[in-house]
């Protein structure tokens, strides 16, 4: 982990990332578990350098955790309750990593700024899970994909952040056609429907859905792949840029 | 104007407000013009006290400028480009108000923190223009409603903020119609359509529009008032609670 010098960062402002991935009809979130803390999970996050934009900071944080550069990401909300930061918990996190961590570079005096009140900008990202190699930071015990419907209890307001990110994803899905960032290059109509059903967590009527999606005029239908199984093969589609 | 002591506020974090009002088929924004600066307009804004939430800060700022307590407001985006703050302009603003202002309380040394890079949280608010008495701050020459289509050139990225707020308003209009409070207690379908036409700045087909709005299932149709003019009177509607 890079040094966290107070003067390099905007104070009391953080970024937290809800990284969504989709696989086998299931919407997942990438969540690290904290080291030395018992059962504490926290969203991947970080701070904003004085000389970088907030979007650059979010991209940097996401690249550190996923290895990917070109990720679809978007702000969804700022979390700014006056009492949202659990300073005591953050203090313990610094102390325990300073005592026990193999790097041993955490020093409570130098890192006192991290335990102050923070206003946090929530970003959500949509990734192709097959391309991601999740990366632990030095304060993480593990980092795993969790089913959106079976989340662990995260620190502070991080569970609320995931709910809010999912709300925004649902609201934006049709207007901004961002769902296709979760799918591979080509896909069947059934796969698009399964994605929508996972995101909205409810079944959708096939005929209505197909009409609705085709009416968006954003899909290109590819030639049917000849499989030998005659007309049983479904059409493949691709997202028009 | 209250004192702007550095230690009372979160540093490098501001709030800017796009206050929309609707009247006579026209969508307007409330914008102050700065004193002593020539032709400079800036969105109403402010900072976040250490002990208040960002929403409380936005409400405080909005109440100062409109006199209203119960305003519908919502975050729409954070503006965080590294170069967005025009420090030189802000320095001039402090200097000129310090020299010439009747209050004369502005001191460049004490207010140097205001000229640093700021990340700004954009809030938009929707108000009943008939209830608002626009309030100048001590640095304002005037504060006026401007037609969304005839805006002055604002400082820094404030014009972009208005565009972004309007985009969000359009995107959310159907889902949040009830909360927005841009219509009186009861209204005709024609009035709803005129509101939409003002916000989207384009004419809408009457039949399609009526069907779409009724399909939202948020309106209650009231009995036709007997006017003597027989069946010419339009139905009145009101929002379902």
What secondary structure does DSSP assign to A176-233, as a single string?
H-GGGGGS-SEE-HHHHHHHHHHHHTS---HHHHHHHHHHT--EEEPPPP--SSGGGS
What secondary structure does DSSP assign to A84-127, as a single string?
---HHHHHHHHHHHHHH-SS----TTTTGGGGS--EEEEEEEEE
Please write the tens of the pLDDT for every residue from B74-98: 999 999 999 999 999 999 888 888 7
Collapsing DSSP to helix, strand or coil, B138 comes out as coil
The pLDDT, as a whole number, for residue A1 is: 43
Residue of A nearest to B52 (CA): A82
Would the CB atoms of B13 and A82 count as touching at under 8 Å? no
Instruction: Name every chain B residue with its beta carbon within 8 A of the beta carbon of A51.
Output: 82
Please write the tens of the pLDDT for every residue from B45-78: 999 999 999 999 999 999 999 998 888 899 999 9
The pLDDT, as a whole number, for residue A196 is: 93
Instruction: Name every chain A residue with its beta carbon within 8 A of the beta carbon of B85.
Output: none
Out of B50, B53, B119, name the one closest to residue A10 (CB). B119
Q: How many CB pairs under 8 A join A and B?
A: 60
Cα distance between residue B130 and residue B193, in whole Å: 20
Please write the tens of the pLDDT for every residue from B125-144: 988 888 899 999 888 999 99
* Residue B30, pLDDT above cutoff 80: yes
Instruction: Name every chain B residue with its beta carbon within 8 A of the beta carbon of A168.
Output: none
Assess contact for A94 and A85: CB atoms under 8 A. Answer: no
Strands A119-127 and A9-23: parallel
Assess contact for A60 and A48: CB atoms under 8 A. Answer: no
The pLDDT mean for chain B works out to 89
Instruction: Name every chain A residue with its beta carbon within 8 A of the beta carbon of B56.
Output: 82
Q: What residues have CB less than 8 Å from B48, skipping those under 6 apart?
A: A80, A119, B9, B10, B13, B14, B15, B54, B57
The pLDDT, as a whole number, for residue B1 is: 43
Please write the tens of the pLDDT for every residue from B6-25: 889 999 999 999 999 998 89
Out of B13, B51, B82, name the one closest to residue A119 (CB). B13
pLDDT (tens place) for every residue of chain A, 241 residues total: 446 888 899 999 999 999 999 999 999 999 999 988 889 999 999 999 999 999 999 999 999 999 998 889 999 999 999 999 999 999 988 888 876 655 556 777 888 899 999 999 999 999 988 889 999 988 899 999 999 999 999 999 999 999 999 999 998 887 777 888 888 888 999 999 999 999 999 999 998 999 999 888 889 999 776 666 666 788 999 988 7
SS3 labels along A135-158: CCCCCEEEEEEEECCCCCCECCCH
Cα distance between residue A116 and residue A109, in whole Å: 12
The contact set of A with B (CB < 8 A) is: 10-13, 48, 50-56, 75, 77-78, 80-82, 117, 119, 121, 171-172, 175
The pLDDT, as a whole number, for residue B97 is: 83
Instruction: Name every chain B residue with its beta carbon within 8 A of the beta carbon of A10.
Output: 11-13, 117, 119
Query: Residue B72 class from Cβ within 10 Å (0-12 exposed, 13-18 middle, 19+ buried)?
Result: middle
CB atoms within 10 A of CB B167: 12
Cα distance between residue A194 and residue A50, in whole Å: 42
**ipTM confidence score:** 0.89
Please state the pTM of the whole predicted model: 0.90
Domains located in chain B, CATH noted: 6-180 (3.90.79.10), 189-239 (no CATH)
Cα distance between residue B74 and residue B55, in whole Å: 8
What is the percentage of chain B residues whose pLDDT exceeds 90?
Answer: 62
Which band of pLDDT confidence, cut at 50, 70 and 90, is reported for residue B102?
A: low
Assess contact for B165 and B199: CB atoms under 8 A. Answer: no
């Amino acid at each position: 982990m890079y040094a966290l010098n107070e003067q390099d960062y905007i104070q009391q402002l953080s970024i937290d990332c809800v990284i969504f991935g989709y696989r086998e009809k299931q919407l997942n979130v990438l969540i690290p578990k904290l080291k030395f803390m018992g059962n504490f999970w926290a969203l991947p996050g970080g701070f904003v350098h004085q000389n970088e934009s907030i979007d650059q900071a979010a991209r940097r944080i996401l690249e550190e955790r996923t290895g990917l550069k070109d990720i679809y990401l978007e702000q969804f909300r700022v979390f700014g309750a006056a009492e949202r930061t659990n300073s005591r918990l953050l203090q313990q996190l610094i102390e325990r990593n300073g005592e026990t961590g193999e790097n041993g570079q955490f020093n409570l005096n130098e890192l006192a700024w991290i335990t102050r009140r923070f206003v946090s900008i929530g970003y959500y990202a949509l990734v192709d899970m097959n391309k991601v190699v999740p990366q632990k930071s030095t304060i993480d015990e593990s980092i795993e994909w969790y089913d959106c419907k079976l989340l662990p209890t995260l620190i502070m307001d991080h569970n609320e952040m995931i709910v809010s990110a999912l709300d925004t994803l649902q609201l934006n899905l049709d207007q901004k056609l961002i769902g296709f960032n979760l799918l591979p290059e080509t896909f069947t109509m059934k796969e698009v429907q399964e994605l929508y059903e996972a995101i909205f967590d409810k079944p959708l009527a096939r005929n209505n859905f197909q009409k609705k999606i085709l009416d968006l005029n954003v899909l290109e239908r590819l030639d049917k792949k000849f499989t030998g199984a005659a007309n049983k093969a479904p059409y493949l589609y691709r997202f028009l840029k």
